[in-house]
Amino acid sequence: MLNKSDKVYIAGHRGMVGSAILRKLQKEGFENFVFRTSAELDLRNQQEVETFFQNEKPDVVVLAAAKVGGIHANNTFRAEFLYDNLMIESNVIHQSYVQGVKKLLFLGSSCIYPKLAQQPLKEEYLLTGLLEPTNEPYAIAKIAGIKLCEAYRSQYGCNFISAMPTNLYGPNDNYDLNNSHVLPALIRKFHTAKIEGKPFVEIWGTGSPKREFLHADDLADACYFLLQNYNESELVNIGCGEDISIKELAMLVKDVIGYEGDLKFDTSKPDGTPRKLMNVDKLNALGWHYSISLKDGIEKVYKELKWEEILA
């Protein structure tokens, strides 16, 4: 188990995932943190990362930093999504080994699984089929991170673990319509349509794909649970084990925001993977279950948003 005195480095501490994990650790009594913003430390730069780890020597590392985005961003910036993520994880994981980090948690994504894998997605389905083409570069980078953790554990005995979260939402999410994920994009679209009195909201695709959503605070709770209780090489899925169609999600967001117009689906836009539901039997068997319902989570997120900053 972790000690409250351990020095913890959260890579990506200002993002949605990293900030949620930081809040959870602070709530549990951890105080010894080391932080660097992306402006202060370029995790793609091998020398910078080496110098940082030599100087700070963290005991625990949570690798939540990544180049992320939705379908449009993934498909448009394919080289950056592959290169940047490969460099980030390679540098951080290697230096964690070199400096003797006690425990590392690597966070991936549900997009690592094959596009047409049987649902719900079990951990053992990894590398059993072709990936979804629109986010293949990101998925390949994350798969490489999982395998790096496995390799350093196998060769050097490092306690490096990997967890694959489902689709997330929560504080510090990205609401830029050009590269955000589906839920924050819907929240922004419906809020804007309500404020501007628009007669309809346009939604990409057919609305038929099904997705699973987990609040970032639940994810942080699961990550803390794994840091305290899990020490195996196999990756672990993190999710709620329930999914919803994009159309149903849009109706839920519409209801929460109080928008009274219509929905229009742009079927010329890609749907992405038909379904992405995580099998969370492994995590549940270990003793962890989610607690924040989707409606309650969306209501909480929407209530706390600072629209003057988002729309600036």
pLDDT tens-digit series, residues 89-98 = 999 999 999 9
CB atoms within 10 A of CB 199: 9
SS3 assignment for 247-305: HHHHHHHHHHHCCCCEEEEECCCCCCCCEECECCHHHHHHCCCCCCCHHHHHHHHHHHC
**pLDDT for res 176:** 86
| Annotated binding-site residue? 43 | no
**pLDDT for res 205:** 93
pLDDT tens-digit map of 216-270: 999 999 999 999 999 999 999 999 999 999 999 999 999 999 999 999 999 998 8
Can you tell me the distance from the alpha carbon of 135 to that of 131, in angstroms, rounded to the nearest whole number?
8
| Annotated binding-site residue? 154 | no
Domain ranges of the chain: 8-171+212-242+277-292
Cis peptide before 120 (omega within 30 of 0): yes
Q: Which member of 97, 113, 138, 290 is catalytic?
A: 138
Provide φ and ψ at 308, rounded to 5°: -65, -30
The H helix count followed by the E strand count for the chain is 11, 13
Q: Is pLDDT above 90 for 310?
A: no
Q: Which residues contact 69 (CB under 8 A, 6 or more apart)?
A: 77, 81, 174, 179, 180, 181
138 in active site = yes
Can you tell me the distance from the alpha carbon of 232 to that of 150, in angstroms, rounded to the nearest whole number?
9
Q: Which phi-psi region, left, alpha or beta, contains residue 156 (left: φ > 0; alpha: ψ -120 to 50)?
A: alpha
Give the single-character DSSP code of 127.
T
Average pLDDT over residues 278-282: 98
**pLDDT for res 311:** 82
| Annotated binding-site residue? 189 | yes
Query: How crowded is the C-beta side of 192, counted as CA atoms within 13 Å?
Result: 16
Task: Tell me which CATH code domain 8-171+212-242+277-292 carries.
Answer: 3.40.50.720
**pLDDT for res 134:** 87
Query: How crowded is the C-beta side of 106, counted as CA atoms within 13 Å?
Result: 33
Q: Is pLDDT above 80 for 312?
A: no
| Annotated binding-site residue? 180 | no
pTM: 0.93
**pLDDT for res 124:** 98
Q: Which residues contact 131 (CB under 8 A, 6 or more apart)?
A: 111, 112, 114, 115, 139, 140
| Annotated binding-site residue? 128 | no
pLDDT tens-digit map of 54-82: 999 999 999 999 998 777 788 889 999 99
